[in-house]
Amino acid sequence: MGKIKINNIFGRKENILSIYLTAGYPVINSMPDLAIALAQAGVNFLELGMPFSDPLADGQTIQYSSNVALKNGITLEKYFDQVARIRDKIDIPLIFMGYFNQLLKFGIEKFLSNCVETGIDGMIIPDLPPEHFEKKYKEIFDKYDLSLSFLVTPTTTESRIKYIDKLSSGFVYLVSTSSTTGKIDKFTNEQAEYFKKIKNLNLNNPVIIGFGISSRDKFLLANKYADGAIIGSAYIKTLKNSANYILETKNFVNKILKK
Amino acid sequence: MNYEIDKHGFYGSYGGAFVPELLFANINELAQNYINIIEKEDFQNEYKSLLKDYVGRPSPLYFAKRLSARYNTNIFLKREDLNHTGAHKINNTIGQILLAKRMGKTRIIAETGAGQHGVATATVCALMDMECIVYMGEKDVKRQAPNVARMKMLGAEVRPVSSGSKTLKDATNEAIRDWINNPGNTFYIIGSVVGPHPYPDMVAIFQSVISEEMKLQLTEQTGRDYPDKIITCIGGGSNAAGAYYHYINNKKVELISVEAGGKGINTGMSAATSVLGSDGIIHGSMTKLMQTADGQIIEPYSISAGLDYPGIGPLHAHLIETGRTKVLTATDDQAVKAGFLLTKTEGIIPALESAHALAALEMIEFSLDEIVVVNLSGRGDKDMETYLQWNTTDIIPD
C-alpha cells in the first residue's frame, strides 16, 4: 500500500491533520491504544516516533518523552510489534519517524522490510541528508514501497527545496521555523511569507507544515498555506501526568478539529 | 593537507555531515568558507602571533632522560601541558574564534565535558570580547566545580544540561540545538575532531601545529624530522590528530592511540570505543561509537573526563580501519600509576588523559635506538583530587 496510501490522503478533503506520538510514552504499551484513539477521533495520518538517545532535531518536550520511553524499555522489537497491532485495527497511513543510526545499526534492508511487513507506509529520518541518501541509499529504499519525506526549513534555498522535493515522496515536511520543535506559539508575518513562497513553487509533493503547531487557529492557517499540518509537542505535552490519556487524546483532537 | 577527505567530508567511509536540514545552512556556510579564510595571510599572521605570544608556543619537546632510562629507549614529551590554560585545547579555540570573527559572528557557543575546552573557549572569548555560552552536562557541572568557576570568572555563561545522560554527549546535543535555534549570529566552537564536516578537518588543521613543531624540534635534537613512534591518548582525538597530522604519510612512523579502558574493557565501565564500538552516527558524523543493538548511544565511563566520549573522530575511525594507527587501552589504574610515575621521575604532573598515553609505555617493547614521542596533551592540576583519592601506597613505583 505504502506510497499510494499516503498520496490518497491529499486533495480529497480539507484540513489534513497528522499527529506525532512517541512509542513507549507515557507507558511502554500505550502507542497502539493512543494510535487507535487518534484515528477514531479523525486524525488523517500518524507519525510513530521511535525514541533515540540523542535526538538532535527534537525540542525539549519530545526529548523528554523519548527519554521516558527509553527508560520504560522501548526497543525496536517492541516498536515493530506495536506497529503491527496498530495496523490490525486502523487503516490510516503510518509514518516511521526516527534517526538514521537506528536503521544503520539494525541493517537498512532489514529495517525497511520490517517496516513494510508491520504496516508502515512512509518514513521521516531527519538526520539523513538528501545528498547522501541519493548517492548511497536511494537504490535500497526504492526496493520498498515506503514514502520518504525530507525536511525543508526557512534557511533552505530555493534550488535546494526543488532538489529535496525531487527526492521526496509522499509529502515534503515543511519546518515552520528555524528552531527545534515546539518552541513558538504563533506564526509571524515572516513565516506566512515563507509559507506563501513555498506554495508558489508548486512542488510535486504535497507540503505538510510541522514544528510549533499548537492550536486550532494555527492548524487552520497551516492548512491554508499548505496541504496539511503535523502536531507533535503540543499533543505529547497533554499526555504528561495524564490520568486518562485516551480521554485526553480524544479531547485534544476534538479541540483541533472542533467537533 | 595530510588527511584525505572528499568534498563531502568523508575519510573513506567515515565522516560526512549527517545533520537535520535545520542545521544545513549553518554547516554549509562554514564548509564553504573555512579553508579560504584559514589559508589567508592575515589569518595565519594573527593566528601564529597569538599562538606564540599568548599561548606560549612552540611548546617544548623535552627529552625525558630518567623515563627513557626506565624503558630503555629515547622518550620525548611534547609539552602541550605548558600551553596557556594547561592543554592543547587552546590551539583550536584560538583558530576557531578568529574564523568566527572573520565570518561576522558575534555569539560563541561551546560544549564541554571536564571543562578544559570550555575554559579554553571562555578564555579566547574574553580575549576577543565576544559573548560566550558553554553547555555542560549537569553531572559534569557538579564534578568539575573549579573549571566552572574559571569559565564564569572569564565571563562565560555556563548552561547546565539536564537532558539524556547529563554529560558531554548531551552537552554537545544541546549546543547543536542552540546553533539550530540561533542561525546567523552564532558560531559553534567544537572542542575535538568530532561532529559534522567540516569540524573534524578544521580542528585537525588547528591542532596540526603540534606535529609541525615536532618536525623542527626533532630535527634539531635528533637530526631526523620524524620519530619511530608517536603515542597519544584518544577520546574524540584532537590531540592525536594534531600530533599525527604531518606524519600520516610517513609510514616509518608508528602511530599509537591509547583509549580509556576504565575499570576494564569487559566490565561495561569503559570508553574503549574502537574495541567495543561499531559503525554508526553520533553528533552528525559517521564513525565508530558505543551503542546498543538498537542503535542507542551508550554512556561511556573513564576516570578521565576528557576521554569519556562514546565515539571517536571519523578520521581516527578511518586510520584504525585502514591499519594506519594501532589502538591500545589503558585502565584507570594503569593511567593513574603512569601519572604518578611521570611525576616522580620527571617532576611533571600530567593530566589524567595524557597519563593514559604514558601508560602505554608499559605495554610496548622498545629498542635502545628508537625515538618515541609521547604527546603530553595537558597538565594534571585539574586532576589533583582524583590523584589524591587513589590508594597511592599500592601504586607509587620505585
Q: What is the DSSP string of B63-115?
A: E-HHHHHHHTSEEEEEEGGGSGGGBTHHHHHHHHHHHHHHTT--EEEEEESSS
Question: Is residue A112 situated within a structural domain?
Answer: yes
CB contact under 8 A, A126 and B280: no
Counting DSSP H helices and E strands in chain B, the numbers are: 17, 14
Alpha helices in A60-123 (DSSP H): 60-72, 76-89, 100-106, 108-118
Q: Which CATH number characterizes residue A11's domain?
A: 3.20.20.70
pLDDT recorded at residue B393: 61
As a whole number, the mean pLDDT across chain B is 95
Confidence class for position B395, pLDDT limits 50, 70, 90: low
Touching check for B236 and chain A: CB below 8 Å?
Answer: no
Sign of CA dihedral B201, B203, B204, B206: positive
State how far the Cα of A165 lies from the Cα of A156, in Å rounded to an integer: 12
Backbone angles phi, psi at B310, to 5 degrees: -75, -5
Burial class (CB in 10 A: 0-12, 13-18, 19+), A28: middle
Pairing of strands B10-11, B14-15: antiparallel
pLDDT tens per residue, range A157-192? 999 999 999 999 999 999 998 766 555 567 888 899
Chain B contact set for A103 (CB, 8 A): 295
State how far the Cα of A42 lies from the Cα of A16, in Å rounded to an integer: 10
State how far the Cα of B319 lies from the Cα of B274, in Å rounded to an integer: 11
Joined grid coordinates for residue A182: 515546539
pLDDT tens per residue, range A201-222? 999 999 999 988 999 999 999 9
Give me the residue from B20, B181, B291 closest to A126, CB to CB: B20
pLDDT tens per residue, range B307-359? 989 999 999 999 999 999 999 999 999 999 999 999 999 999 999 999 999 99
pLDDT recorded at residue B183: 84
Q: Is the pLDDT of residue B363 over 80?
A: yes
Question: Is residue A230 situated within a structural domain?
Answer: yes
Q: Can you give the three-state secondary structure of A128-194, one letter per residue?
A: CCHHHHHHHHHHHHHCCCCEECCEECCCCCHHHHHHHHHHCCCCEEEECCCCCCCCCCCCCHHHHHH
How many domains does one find in chain A? 1
With contact defined as beta carbons under 8 Å apart, do B109 and B84 qualify?
no
Q: Is the pLDDT of residue A12 over 90?
A: no
Q: How many CA atoms lie within 13 A of A230 on its CB side?
A: 29
Backbone angles phi, psi at B132, to 5 degrees: -135, 125
pLDDT recorded at residue B396: 57
Question: Is residue A1 situated within a structural domain?
Answer: no
Confidence class for position B2, pLDDT limits 50, 70, 90: low
Question: Is residue A159 situated within a structural domain?
Answer: yes
Quick check: is A185 catalytic? no
Percent residues over pLDDT 90 in chain B: 91
Provide the domain limits for residue A42.
6-257
Touching check for A220 and chain B: CB below 8 Å?
Answer: no
State how far the Cα of A115 lies from the Cα of A123, in Å rounded to an integer: 9
DSSP B245: G
Confidence class for position B1, pLDDT limits 50, 70, 90: very low
pLDDT tens per residue, range B25-68? 999 999 999 999 999 999 999 999 999 999 999 999 999 999 99
Percent helix, strand and coil across chain B, each rounded to 5?
50, 20, 30
pLDDT recorded at residue B11: 97
pLDDT recorded at residue B220: 98
Question: Is residue A36 situated within a structural domain?
Answer: yes
Closest Cα of chain A to B329: distance in Å? 25
**Going edge to edge, which strands form the sheet with B10-11?**
B10-11, B14-15, B285-289, B278-282
Question: Is residue A205 situated within a structural domain?
Answer: yes
Question: Is residue A177 situated within a structural domain?
Answer: yes
pLDDT recorded at residue A188: 86
Please name each of the domains of chain B with its CATH number: 20-50+89-203 (3.40.50.1100), 56-87+208-395 (3.40.50.1100)
Joined grid coordinates for residue A214: 499548537
Joined grid coordinates for residue B324: 594506519
Question: Is residue A253 situated within a structural domain?
Answer: yes
Chain A contact set for B8 (CB, 8 A): 131-132
Give me the residue from A64, A67, A152 closest to B21, CB to CB: A152
pLDDT tens per residue, range B100-117? 999 999 999 999 998 999
Closest Cα of chain B to A2: distance in Å? 24
Element (H, E) at B161: strand B157-161
In the numeric block, the cell 599525527 is attached to: B244
Touching check for B25 and chain A: CB below 8 Å?
Answer: yes
Burial class (CB in 10 A: 0-12, 13-18, 19+), B177: buried
pLDDT tens per residue, range B296-305? 999 999 999 8
CB contact under 8 A, A132 and B8: yes
What is the mean predicted confidence (pLDDT) over B206-227? 98
Q: What is this structure's pTM?
A: 0.96
Query: Which residue does chain A place closest to B19, by CA atoms?
Result: A127
Instruction: Please report the ipTM that was assigned to this predicted complex.
Output: 0.94
pLDDT tens per residue, range A90-130? 999 999 999 999 999 999 999 999 999 999 999 999 999 99
Burial class (CB in 10 A: 0-12, 13-18, 19+), A186: exposed
pLDDT tens per residue, range B120-178? 999 999 999 999 999 999 988 988 889 999 999 999 999 999 988 888 999 999 999 99
CB contact under 8 A, B296 and A180: no
State how far the Cα of B53 lies from the Cα of B56, in Å rounded to an integer: 6
Joined grid coordinates for residue B46: 594573527
Joined grid coordinates for residue B288: 565508530
DSSP B303: S
Query: Which residue does chain A place closest to B16, by CA atoms?
Result: A132
Backbone angles phi, psi at B96, to 5 degrees: -70, -35
